[in-house]
Structure 1
Amino acid sequence: MLNESAIGKIRDFIVQQKNKNTEVHSYHECEDDIKYFQKNKIGVELDTYKEVILQEETGLELGGMNKESFLLIYPLKEKNLLHDGTITIIGPEINDIQQTSIDFGLLLLISIKDQSNQKLKQLNSFTFISNSIEGFSIRSVPRRFWSRVSTQQLKKGFNFQFLAQAILYLYRIKFSDIVEAMEIIMINSCPDIIKNFLLVSSELTHKLKEKWLKKLEDWKKRIDCEYEWGCEICPYQVECYEIKKVLVARNKKEEI
C-alpha cells in the first residue's frame, strides 16, 4: 500500500504541474534502441565510454554541489504500479536551455522480479551509466546528482529524451534477469519544483533512507564500529574500506 500511495502522489504532482502550465514532456521508450542511438550518432554500450569530461569540454552540467539535485533509484515488486517505458520530463528540453549549469533531479522506478536477488545491491550504482554513454559522465556526490554532457554531444542533439532512453536501455541490458518494468521521471531548471517533488516523494526517500541506515548499522556491527557519525564523514573511511575488502575476499573463499 505504501508504494501505491507514494506513486499515486507522484502522478498527481505531474498532473498538477501540467495544470499550472509547467513545461512537461512525455515520451515512450523506443522499441528499436540500437537504431535510435545510431540515428543520433551517440554511442551507448555497456562499459565502453569510461571517459572524464573536463570543464573546458563541458557543454552542460546537470545538478552539482551548488544546485538543487537528486538521484532516486527505487525498486519495487508491484509491476502493475508502473507505466513501463514511460519517460516524463518536467522542465524544458536541452535545446531550449541557455544556461551551462542547471538544477536537475532523476527518479527511476524499477519493478523487480526477485527481491532477494544479489544484483539488487547493484541497482543503485549509477557508475555503469556514466561508463556507457558517449560524452556523458557522472561525478560522485552522495545522494545527489552531478553530471556533465560534452559540448560535442550537445551539437549532435543529445537531450533528456536521449538520456532517459539510454538509461532504460542500459538497465534492461545489465539487469535483464530481474527487471520487469521501468519508468523514469526527470525534473530540470526549476529548484522550487524539485524541492516540492522531494516533499511529495518523501515516502519513497524515507523508505530508502531506512534501508540505507540498516545497512550502515549492520556494517558497523560487523566491523565492531562504535562511532556515531556516518561513513561519508568518517576519518577512518580508508581503513574501513580495506577491512571491507578483506571480509569480502574471506566470504568468497568460504563459498568455494
Structure 2
Amino acid sequence: MPDKKILSDIRGFIASQNKNNKQIHSYREAKKSIQYFQNMAIGVELDNYKDVILQEETGLELGGMNKKSFLLVYPIREENLLTDGNITLIGPEIKSIHELSIDFGILLLISVKEVSSNKFKDLSSFTFISNSIEGFSIRSIPRKFWSRISRNVLNKGFSFEFLANAIIYLYRMKFKDLIEAIELIVISSHSDSIDEFLSVSADITHKLKEKWLKKLDSWKKRIDCDYDWGCEICPYQIECFEIKKVLMARNKREER
C-alpha cells in the first residue's frame, strides 16, 4: 500500500527530528475556528484578503529565491491513515525567530473521497490561501514556496499555529464535500531538516510530478511549451496568453 508506506516514512522522519533535538511543536486544530480567528483579530475568509504585501510592509519572509523551501499537497484515499486536525511544527515558532527571511516548508496531507484530475488541480493550488488570510500573501515563483507575513499581523500574534489553523479551515470551507481528514506539517528555519524531508518525501514528489506531467503534456504540445512548472505559478502567464490568442487566430485563418 503506497500511501501507508509514504506516511510511515514521514512519521519516521518526524521521530528522527525529535531524536536529533530539533524543536517539535504539536498542535491541534481549533475546535471553534471562527472564534479563534476573532480572538486573534486577524481576518480569515475565503477570497476576502487579496492585498499584496510590499517589501516595506513585510515582517517575515518564508522561503523565497535564496532560501530552501517546499510546498506539497498530497491527497490520499484512506481516511484512517491520518489523525484529523493534527498540526506538527518542526523548528521554532515565529515569536522565537529573529531573521527577516527563513527556510520554510509545508506538507498538507488530505484524505479525500475521490480525486479527479480537475479536483487534484484545485486541491494543489494555494492561490486561494494567499487570497484568504489577512497579512499573508504568496509570491509566484517556479518550484519554490515564497510568502510574506506583514508586520501588522505579526504584532497581533500571528504564528505558525495560526497559519496552520487558517489553512486547514480554508481547505475545509472550499472543499467541504471532498475532504474527510487533514494533517499539516510545517518545517521552519532548519535547512538540513528540509533537505532530509525532501529526500524522505521523494515518493510523494514523484507521484505528484507524474500526475502533473501527464495532465500538462497534451496542452504543452499544442503551444510548444518547454517549461516544467505549472501554469498557475509560471512567470510568463501574460506572454503565454497573448501567444495563445495569436495561435488561435492563425488556426482560424487556416481553417477558412
Distance in 2, matches of 1:20 and 1:211, equals 34
Q: How does 1:143-222 map to 2 (within 5 A)?
A: 143-221=143-221
Instruction: Check if 1:38 corresponds to 2:38.
Output: yes
Q: Aligned residue for 1:23?
A: 23
Distance 1:245 1:107, change over 3 A: farther
Shift of 1:125: 1.2
Question: Which stretches in structure 2 are left out of the alignment for 5+ residues?
Answer: 250-256
Equivalent AA in structure 2 for residue 44 of structure 1: V
Equivalent AA in structure 2 for residue 74 of structure 1: Y
Contact 2:140 2:235 in 1 (8 A): no
Shift of 1:115: 2.0
Instruction: Check if 1:54 corresponds to 2:54.
Output: yes
The DSSP-based 3-state class of the residue aligned with 1:144 is coil
Shift of 1:243: 7.8
Task: Please give the per-residue CA displacement for 1:50-86, whole angstroms capped at 9, x wherever unaligned.
Answer: 1011101000000001000000011111111111100
TM-score by length of 2: 0.89
Instruction: Check if 1:120 corresponds to 2:120.
Output: yes
TM-score by length of 1: 0.89
The DSSP-based 3-state class of the residue aligned with 1:123 is helix
Contact 2:137 2:148 in 1 (8 A): yes
Aligned length: 244
Shift of 1:172: 0.1
Q: Aligned residue for 2:240?
A: 237
Q: Aligned residue for 1:254?
A: none
Question: Which stretches in structure 1 are left out of the alignment for 5+ residues?
Answer: 247-256
Query: What RMSD over aligned residues (CA atoms) do the two structures have, in Å?
Result: 2.2
The percentage of aligned residue pairs carrying the same residue is: 58
Contact 2:62 2:147 in 1 (8 A): yes
The DSSP-based 3-state class of the residue aligned with 2:52 is coil
Contact 2:220 2:226 in 1 (8 A): no
Distance 1:243 1:92, change over 3 A: farther
Shift of 1:213: 1.2
Contact 2:141 2:235 in 1 (8 A): no
